[in-house]
Amino acid sequence: MTTHFITAEINLQETPTELQKAIEAELKKQGEPLRWAITSVDVSQQKATIEAVVTKQENQETTNQEL
């Protein structure tokens, strides 16, 4: 398992609950989120920038080849 620092840009949503769901869905595409934060909001473009730390499972084939 490895950890990665990522950034993502998310469209602002109608409610905070919808925004949280959109953020979590986007982050899960990159791995399992450990923590995340909204670091900036561009009101004119209706975008939020998210910084997160995610974990990823290593590819089993890669692990076996290294042995």
For the stretch 24-40, pLDDT in tens is 999 999 999 999 999 99
Domain that holds residue 45: 2-66
pLDDT tops 70 at residue 63: no
Residue 22, pLDDT > 70, answer: yes
Give 2's strand partners. 56
* Reported confidence tier of residue 58, pLDDT bands at 50, 70, 90: confident
Q: What is the pTM of this model?
A: 0.79
How many domains is the chain partitioned into structurally? 1
Helices (H) and strands (E) in the chain, counts: 2, 3
